[in-house]
Structure 1
Amino acid sequence: MTTVRVFLPGPVAVIPSQKVRDQLAPRLRPAHLVDNINALARAGALPARMEEKHLAVYTDTHVVGLYVTELGDAYRLGWAAPRGFRDEERLLRGALLLGGAAGWHEYHQIRDVPRGVTSSHMALLRQAWADANRLQPPPPRLPPRHTEYLDLMEQVIEAGRDIEVARQRAEPPIHYRRRESTREERRSASGVYAFTLVRPTTLAAGAVVHLADQPELRGKVKRLEGTNLVVRFDGPIDYGRIPAQGALTVMPSDLVFRAQADAVAALRRGEVSNPEMLRWFVDRQLAPFRTDPMARPRRALDPGGQLPAFQKALAVPDVLLILGPPGTGKTRTITEIVAACTARGERVLVTSHTNRAVDNVLQQLPEDIRTVRVGNEDAMTGRARELMVENHVTAAREHILAATQAMASRLAVFTGEAEAAGRWLVHLTDSLDAAHRAEQEAAGLAASLDHAVRRAQAPLAGRLAATGSRAEAARAAAERLRARESQWEQRHARAHARAGAGPLAFFHRWLADRRLGRLHAVRRRLGPAHAELADATAAHDAVRAEADRLVAADPEATGLIGARDAAVGRRKDAAAEAGRSAEMLWAMVAQVVPVPPLAVPDDLAAWRVLRDQFGASVRMLRGRAGLLAEWRDGIGDAELDLQREFVRYADVVAATCIGTATSKLLAELQFDLAIVDEAGQISTPNLLVPLIRAKRCVLVGDHMQLPPYLDDEVRQWRESLARDAALPREAAREIGELLRHSAFERLYGTVPPDHQVMLAVQRRMPQEIGRFVSDAFYQGSLLTDHSGGGGDPVFTSPFAMVDTADLSAGERGERSAGRGEGGNGHGWVNPLEADLIVRLVTRYARHYRDWAVILPYRAQAERIRAGLRNTLGDGPQVADNVGTVDSFQGGERDLIVYGFTGSNPRGEVGFLTELRRLNVAVSRAKWQLVLVGDTTTLGAARDEGFRALMGRMLDHLGEAGDRRPSAEVRARLDRAEGEFL
């Protein structure tokens, strides 16, 4: 789409709704918006977009929604919203630029619009909008192989959606026998309640449930531990509305599948950040590139894969695959890539399938990188919660309020009901008015008093004039003589100064004597002149004193003198009050803006100039105070807008793959680089969701660890495709591959060598464990850099096994725990192994503080948890450190105890045939690995691949490990327990 200019040939009428008037009041009126629309239209620069039901018009400050009236001759202004960055992005995608000289006019009601004069010009606008859309380049024509690939992807997504929704609908209600409120810290007013279930369930965190028979009371599963279920409801909920015993119902959701389908649709339309994406996945065609050998990370990276991965990630134009076996420092490598890319101004998306994987990367990111975490708070770690966009907004709001508090306090005197500055300005004006009145009154009284004085002094007028004339003449004569005296003194001094030497000295002595004589003559006359002045002055003063007595005896004159003196006093008092007001106003203004020192004027004209200056300052600061107060008040109302801006200006945005599509905060946001961790576990439909948002990507994973998860129903559907005659065999095979293998696994080894790199040095496991992992899963290419084991109290090697094959089949055998292992068939328990593991961990807990027990089945995990609670206590250590393989992907412990559980004469090992699960389990150990299992079952497994792996493992135990019969281990534990007791 592009921008099209449209000239509107006639006037346009706008009728603001009452809702808009109320919304904008009191700070803004619709007329202001219409005035701005007119100004932009006259310049031919009024942006607008045709939306589904209205015309969106963009003023300088707002976006307004205009709806055509029934007659089509006017618009109703239905809403107005502040213009933000998302609006700018919409305009960049295409707009109409409206112009015209006829103008836009506001009318209060529709009946006020003159008929036949105005028009909405809607036909013209729709045509221009259609033209703008036609100018948009058509979507690319996809090669048939790309279309077929996307068709198959849609089949996979739709089948997954149908299976999942059907499964959710078939789920029976989850009954609980007790409910209670919790006191958990939370960042919203939502109600959080704990339910004790009647029996365990397989609900996952994030699942949406509602109270049976009360669908409006819905919430998300926050945590599930055994039969303890914690639910965060969507809003506050009255405790009394929750039955003491009842049931929860799972609400079907296809949110994940909609996000996947949207990604496929975007690929089909070509609306992706990198239009070459399909060439990666279908054709394995990638652009050649050259790395910069001088690129260096902040922290040291080893040359055995980490540094080459870092350098390639900075240069790759499309996709780089980093194979990160256990303990090779993939998180360290990722953080250095992130730091380098953000340092050069790139926006990076960090994502993975699970919240834990995302948060593991965030743990190591430098604090100077602006990082925002988006997603479900309940599924995040503590560090990630600190980076949540909500917390960024809260911190920014508090910082802004704190930073502006001092200014707001200083400006408080210019606003509010008790506006001090305004009151002092009024007081200054009143004081100046009072001074002006007093001055005018004093001037009028002075004229009347002059007339009264002349009348009272009339009998002495002649004498006053005569004595005054004589005194003035005597004063003038004396001043003339003093002037001549000064003149002759100066002349004498000059002649005397030259009379000391030189050829004319005699002449200057003569001249000095002559001028001294003149000076003495003047001084002789000056004495009588002074005497005459004194006599004349005394005579005049006597007559004046007599005249003053006449005035004092005149009632009219004395009254006027009193009135005049009172007016002068009032003028002085008013001027003093004006000065006090000016000092207060100056102090208030000086706290906010720089002002020159206060100079108190002498006359009222200068006072009025100063008052006008204060008035202008008060008006300016009153407006500033109002804007600041409005901003401080409004910052709490702009939560979502602020969140969007924080996300938009973040260096790094972190979210799960699906979270990048389901969070509204990330809508329409594009990234320079997407880094996908644990990509080997992510199905292709899930992987596409974040990748369509990035210009280039780095996939970090290990396809020799956990694969994408498939439940029984999807696996059965995949197997049924082979029997579907309507589906071509090649398509069925491709769908099977899409389901069975991650995109990372399918790409690694098939893309050009420059686009993949392996991190080849592991530092987590001792050599004994690392060599087995390397030989069994990485063709011997994984090297070890580790200091070795740490003196285990039970075994002589870091790679150890307790072999239960020394016992009878009845003692060591497995037992069915029923169906329900997360859709993966039967659950199994092994009482003998559970007892051994509980005793081992109880012994080890005094030696290894950081331990974990990994099991293939949840039922066995729960049995061991129960046993450890009896020996170690019912604390978080037991709950967090015992679980299935999936829960420990990406983690590590000093001690790992892995129980195989399976023991039967049939050689059945269940889903242990997924060999990569064993890789995950054994590669978690930092110092000691203890395996517990029945080697007769493991070594004779019916699955050929698993049997071969077990043979290799048993050989390695014989060469570098410590394999003990279970009876010997139990005896040693008996002795240790006796010593401890």
Structure 2
Amino acid sequence: MTSVPVFLPGPVAVVPSEKVYARLAPHTNPLRLIEEMGRLAWAGALPARIEDDPGRLVVYTDTHVAWLFVTQRGDAYRLGSASLRGFRDEERLLRGALLLQSASGWFGFHQLRDIPPGRMSAHWPLLRHAWQNVNRTEERRPLLPPHHDAYLDLMTRVIDAGRDIEDARQQDAPPIHYRRKESTREERYSARGVYAFRLLRPAPLTVGSMVYLADQPDLRGRVRRINGTEVVVRFETAVDYGRIPAQGSFMVASSDRVFRAQSDAVETLRRTGAVNPGLLTQLVDRRLTPYRTDPGHRPRGALDPDSQLSAFQRALAVPDLLLILGPPGTGKTRTITEIAVACTARQERVLVTSHTNRAVDNVLEQLPEDLFVVRVGNEDTVTGRARGLMVEKHFLAMRERILAATEGTASRLAVFGDKEDVAGRWLAHLGDALTEIRTAEREEHGHTVAFDEVVRRLAPALAERITAAGSRMTSAHATVERLTARARGWERRHTAARDRSNSGILAFLHRWLAGVWQGRLEVVLRELASVREELAQAETALDAERAEAERECGAHPEASRVLAVRDAARRRCEKATADASGAVRMIRTMIETVVPSPYEPMTDREQLTDPAVYDRLARTLALFRARAGILAEWRSGIGDVELDLQRELVRYADVVAATCIGTATAKLLADLEFDLVIVDEAGQISTPNLLVPLVRGRRTVLVGDHQQLPPYLDEEVRAWGDGLAREGTLPPAAAREVGELLSRSAFERLYGEVPPEHRVMLTMQRRMPREIGEFVSAAFYDGVLRTDHPGWTGDPVFTSPFAMVDTSDRPVDERCEEPDGRGSDGNRRGYVNALEADLVVRLVTEYTRYYQDWAVIVPYRAQAERIRAGLARTLGDSTEVADNVGTVDSFQGGERDLIVYAFTRSNTHGDVGFLKELRRLNVAVSRAKRQLVLVGDVATLSAARDEGFRRLMRQMLDHLRRVGDLRPSAEVAERLGRLDDGEV
């Protein structure tokens, strides 16, 4: 690590911000973290860096990373944020750090006003000067244009602001109470406990959320499944069931993973490490490369010829960046699918990503099965078909295919490597038989010589003939061996010359030599055939002479005795020969179960006793025994290389799918580059989040709709700005710039500013009936959105698919909203409206006889809880109710046959709160496929103090009066009553 020691001559004061208490509690107290900084500084071992923002000091304790901001007076630091120390932090420290030392100590204070005047200092000029020395030894970054540097500095401030907003969300999040715990029989995932909890009421949890027990913060786990009020949690470590309270509560744990990934993307751009070298220029300067589309590019499936086909052809041709605006129901997913398929056909590696797992999985649902698609992420957060595309599933399937493909070979080789060693025993039997043959042959030869001596004494003339015949056979045998050796030599020369005669500058010479060697070989072979005939005649003559000798001398007692022992040895030799032949046959049969045997059947004793035969068989069995061991070890060890094989699977995938943050935090995707990055729902993704996948791709297609909900809602941004104003850590102008980036996605900022050929809008929606689609088009898309819908099929209550129940016909005290206040969990859940809630319950209870696919959308959690409770009483299925009643945010991207949206706000002063975020209404009304029912106080809504909301409401009411069905609530209640009584 490149480090520069810095001695701080005086004490250092640090004031934790409120959000740090929320982020670190209950695991770490910020004041204890400051004490740890002081302990390390006293030892001269407190690493620190000055990163990105010139007013920020990043300090590293043994366990945490803390971000410190210099106060305006320069006498202290404000502890703005802190998180657990990770691997990326080690990489940053290796690039360079300051080693802070202070004998005077580091002190934590609750408020800035508590710091003793004139006694503390941030020592900022000293640190800045020392950091310049670190920068001289640190690897120098490429020089960026000043406005690019400013943009990246701004992104760093936006990341910090996003962290602040997330901290505020976690701080405001209520405890999640459970009334019962249950053990499960699910897989324990490396001994981690998996338990089910029955909640008191539905909670705003998502699959994959990290939670901890409120009274035991060390018991942390991840939400694995949510089924109504049942939540299954997989704990990080093995947890004793008895340690978990029978009733208790969860808290959602905050995570810095997202913001670290965003910071890493900014750092990649700062060092010009993005795969697309012009990415910063494209984002900051809006300077994109002109191009032409190729009308010859045709999709595999059907796309509408006006906008979807244009988007498809532009996506295939664009060299850098294309934005596709996709209003609700216009087939964004179908268009993305066709783009991905066409690009993979060109051997391009495609990354499909989005902010949420659901959006990623929706695209994967429509990809054809012949594409090799790998989903990377947490299995607990993946749904539908995408679960089967997880890289872990691919690995298991590949492992099973490998095991199945090698099962036959492994079982056949097992005979060579099992404990009984059958093949080895047959080889040993062959060895014993060959030894017996050689012993019997020696004995037979010895007795034959002894018999010849007896014949020489009894019949000398016959003995001379036997000796002469033997000499002729021996001479012929020697000549055969000599000629055989010569033939082998000529054959080797001929083969070598023939092999070299097809190419090369000496090919002609080698062809001539091959002919010469072939001629000489033929001469030798003819001579060899003649000599072999002579050998056969000599052997026949010798056998005849010996037969004659046995007839003449066999009756002699000595000759009879010698012949008897000779014949016994001959029979032993024949039996051993048969045994050896049988052993070779068994070994040959076992070899043929694996490969065709290279050995011909052998019954001739001369072949069997050839030492080369036994040696070849022994080497073959040793080779097969080694192969059996290697294959068995390899098959049993496939799981040991799981990560390596998964990494290879990802590398060879046609399409890789992951969330934006997952592309940076999944180890399997480390250093992986993509030819095309497709980002769905880009209108909801903040700029820092979007940068995470963008730095990995050569080309990018952003698909989104900035008329849907933004990355951060206005009220969240305002709350963040109010907090900054109180702390004074960011100038007002900078805060406004950051706030604008928070509330508007990069997609929204880019769409109106890039050249026309780099943007396209999908204009044909097929989800909503015409009456709804025309309002959505006029209100949010300048009237260019057209409708292709089969039409309305009728409704038991209303005369149009676009209907509204007006509660302004009721007395003010009956229809008015009520603040929910703060519940037992200490958190505000907004407003409730008893009249609207009762109307919604009655509507949905009646409608469930006509629509199986329904949803209720309301702005506030308190109103959602009230409606859930009412529907649970009338429908009795709390799981279905919990899944189908929620706030606007939870239904973005979804669709239902029936949508009921209740505005909730009703008052005499026109206050509509955050309903003035008009995009909320777009999300709510554009979910309906068959019937949309709005419930609200027309008097309040049409007289709202917010001008934009008031104008939109009046436009909507005019549209309802023309093509919709606007009815007083009393009339609707009467209609529902008649339906319930069976009168209609």
Normalising by the residue count of structure 1, what TM-score does the alignment of the two structures yield?
A: 0.74
Letter of the structure 2 residue corresponding to residue 332 of structure 1? R
Provide the rounded CA distance (Å) in 1 between the counterparts of 2:767 and 2:826: 32
**Secondary structure of the corresponding residue to residue 353 of structure 2:** strand
**Secondary structure of the corresponding residue to residue 623 of structure 1:** helix
Instruction: Give the match for residue 231 of structure 1.
Output: 233
Q: How do 1:617-766 residues align onto structure 2 when only pairs under 5 Å count?
A: 617-710=620-713, 714-719=717-722, 730-766=733-769
- 1:601-622 per-position Cα deviation (integer Å, ceiling 9, x unaligned): 5234554333222223223322
**Secondary structure of the corresponding residue to residue 296 of structure 1:** coil
**Secondary structure of the corresponding residue to residue 802 of structure 1:** strand
Change in Cα spacing, 1:823 to 1:957, as seen in structure 2 (3 Å) is farther
Q: Does 1:615 align with 2:618?
A: yes
Letter of the structure 2 residue corresponding to residue 751 of structure 1? V
**Secondary structure of the corresponding residue to residue 638 of structure 1:** helix
Provide the rounded CA distance (Å) in 2 between the counterparts of 1:170 and 1:897: 28
Instruction: Give the match for residue 157 of structure 2.
Output: 155
Instruction: Give the match for residue 857 of structure 2.
Output: 854
Change in Cα spacing, 1:652 to 1:546, as seen in structure 2 (3 Å) is closer
1:821–1:857 CA contact under 8 A, matched in 2: no
Change in Cα spacing, 1:980 to 1:243, as seen in structure 2 (3 Å) is farther
Instruction: Give the match for residue 570 of structure 2.
Output: 568
* Larger deviation, residues 766-775 vs 588-597: 588-597
Letter of the structure 2 residue corresponding to residue 324 of structure 1? G
Change in Cα spacing, 1:198 to 1:929, as seen in structure 2 (3 Å) is closer
Aligned-residue offset at 1:561? 2.5
1:280–1:286 CA contact under 8 A, matched in 2: yes
1:179–1:193 CA contact under 8 A, matched in 2: yes
Aligned-residue offset at 1:465? 10
Provide the rounded CA distance (Å) in 1 between the counterparts of 2:725 and 2:219: 44
Provide the rounded CA distance (Å) in 2 between the counterparts of 1:544 and 1:613: 41
- 1:360-417 per-position Cα deviation (integer Å, ceiling 9, x unaligned): 1000001111111111222211211111111110111011101110111111122132
Instruction: Give the match for residue 338 of structure 2.
Output: 336
Change in Cα spacing, 1:146 to 1:820, as seen in structure 2 (3 Å) is farther
Q: How many residues align?
A: 772
Change in Cα spacing, 1:666 to 1:818, as seen in structure 2 (3 Å) is farther
Q: Does 1:775 align with 2:797?
A: no
Provide the rounded CA distance (Å) in 1 between the counterparts of 2:833 and 2:465: 141
Provide the rounded CA distance (Å) in 2 between the counterparts of 1:413 and 1:270: 60
Aligned-residue offset at 1:869? 2.4
Change in Cα spacing, 1:136 to 1:215, as seen in structure 2 (3 Å) is closer
Change in Cα spacing, 1:727 to 1:175, as seen in structure 2 (3 Å) is closer
**Secondary structure of the corresponding residue to residue 211 of structure 2:** strand
**Secondary structure of the corresponding residue to residue 981 of structure 2:** helix
Instruction: Give the match for residue 287 of structure 1.
Output: 289
Change in Cα spacing, 1:165 to 1:814, as seen in structure 2 (3 Å) is closer
2:829–2:861 CA contact under 8 A, matched in 1: no
Provide the rounded CA distance (Å) in 1 between the counterparts of 2:196 and 2:714: 28
- 1:130-180 per-position Cα deviation (integer Å, ceiling 9, x unaligned): xxxx99996431111111111111112123335545765797865544311
1:335–1:361 CA contact under 8 A, matched in 2: yes
Provide the rounded CA distance (Å) in 2 between the counterparts of 1:437 and 1:543: 27
Q: Does 1:422 align with 2:424?
A: yes
Give the fraction of aligned pairs with identical amino acids, expressed as a percent.
65
2:173–2:827 CA contact under 8 A, matched in 1: no
* Larger deviation, residues 178-187 vs 150-159: 178-187
Letter of the structure 1 residue corresponding to residue 703 of structure 2? V
Q: How do 1:48-127 residues align onto structure 2 when only pairs under 5 Å count?
A: none
Aligned-residue offset at 1:599? 2.6
- 1:844-880 per-position Cα deviation (integer Å, ceiling 9, x unaligned): 2121222221111222222222222233232643232
Q: How do 1:229-628 residues align onto structure 2 when only pairs under 5 Å count?
A: 229-248=231-250, 250-452=252-454, 457=458, 547=552, 550-551=555-556, 554=557, 556-596=558-598, 598-608=600-610, 609-628=612-631
**Secondary structure of the corresponding residue to residue 425 of structure 1:** helix
Provide the rounded CA distance (Å) in 1 between the counterparts of 2:295 and 2:288: 21
Provide the rounded CA distance (Å) in 2 between the counterparts of 1:871 and 1:185: 37
Instruction: Give the match for residue 835 of structure 1.
Output: 838
Which ranges in structure 1 are unaligned for 5 or more consecutive residues?
1-133, 469-539
Aligned-residue offset at 1:224? 5.3
Change in Cα spacing, 1:229 to 1:370, as seen in structure 2 (3 Å) is same
Instruction: Give the match for residue 798 of structure 2.
Output: 795
Provide the rounded CA distance (Å) in 2 between the counterparts of 1:545 and 1:320: 106
Provide the rounded CA distance (Å) in 1 between the counterparts of 2:396 and 2:905: 52
Q: Does 1:141 align with 2:131?
A: no
Q: Does 1:929 align with 2:927?
A: no
Provide the rounded CA distance (Å) in 2 between the counterparts of 1:830 and 1:542: 126
- 1:700-721 per-position Cα deviation (integer Å, ceiling 9, x unaligned): 0000011113486653233566
2:162–2:742 CA contact under 8 A, matched in 1: no
Provide the rounded CA distance (Å) in 2 between the counterparts of 1:976 and 1:272: 63
- 1:572-614 per-position Cα deviation (integer Å, ceiling 9, x unaligned): 1111111111111111211222235633152345543332222
Q: Does 1:914 align with 2:914?
A: no
Provide the rounded CA distance (Å) in 2 between the counterparts of 1:936 and 1:169: 36
* Larger deviation, residues 806-815 vs 774-783: 806-815
Change in Cα spacing, 1:156 to 1:178, as seen in structure 2 (3 Å) is same
**Secondary structure of the corresponding residue to residue 375 of structure 1:** coil
**Secondary structure of the corresponding residue to residue 877 of structure 2:** coil
* Larger deviation, residues 677-686 vs 151-160: 151-160
2:679–2:701 CA contact under 8 A, matched in 1: yes
Aligned-residue offset at 1:452? 3.9
Provide the rounded CA distance (Å) in 2 between the counterparts of 1:946 and 1:601: 103
Letter of the structure 1 residue corresponding to residue 681 of structure 2? E
Instruction: Give the match for residue 814 of structure 1.
Output: 817
**Secondary structure of the corresponding residue to residue 921 of structure 1:** helix
Letter of the structure 2 residue corresponding to residue 797 of structure 1? S
**Secondary structure of the corresponding residue to residue 760 of structure 2:** strand
Instruction: Give the match for residue 501 of structure 2.
Output: none
Aligned-residue offset at 1:730? 4.7
2:361–2:384 CA contact under 8 A, matched in 1: no
**Secondary structure of the corresponding residue to residue 636 of structure 1:** helix
Which ranges in structure 2 are unaligned for 5 or more consecutive residues?
1-135, 467-544
Instruction: Give the match for residue 16 of structure 2.
Output: none
Change in Cα spacing, 1:668 to 1:734, as seen in structure 2 (3 Å) is same
Aligned-residue offset at 1:699? 0.4
2:902–2:936 CA contact under 8 A, matched in 1: yes
Provide the rounded CA distance (Å) in 2 between the counterparts of 1:393 and 1:341: 25
2:164–2:720 CA contact under 8 A, matched in 1: no
Change in Cα spacing, 1:821 to 1:356, as seen in structure 2 (3 Å) is farther
1:821–1:858 CA contact under 8 A, matched in 2: no
Q: How do 1:940-955 residues align onto structure 2 when only pairs under 5 Å count?
A: 940-955=943-958
- 1:67-106 per-position Cα deviation (integer Å, ceiling 9, x unaligned): xxxxxxxxxxxxxxxxxxxxxxxxxxxxxxxxxxxxxxxx
**Secondary structure of the corresponding residue to residue 285 of structure 1:** coil
Instruction: Give the match for residue 870 of structure 1.
Output: 873
Provide the rounded CA distance (Å) in 1 between the counterparts of 2:645 and 2:268: 28
1:323–1:701 CA contact under 8 A, matched in 2: yes
**Secondary structure of the corresponding residue to residue 819 of structure 2:** strand
* Larger deviation, residues 616-625 vs 799-808: 616-625
2:228–2:882 CA contact under 8 A, matched in 1: no
2:455–2:549 CA contact under 8 A, matched in 1: no
Letter of the structure 2 residue corresponding to residue 568 of structure 1? R
* Larger deviation, residues 716-725 vs 751-760: 716-725
Q: Give the number of the structure whose alpha-carbon radius of gyration is greater.
A: 1
- 1:334-380 per-position Cα deviation (integer Å, ceiling 9, x unaligned): 00000001110111111111111111100000111111111122221
Aligned-residue offset at 1:563? 1.9
* Larger deviation, residues 162-171 vs 616-625: 162-171
Aligned-residue offset at 1:894? 1.4
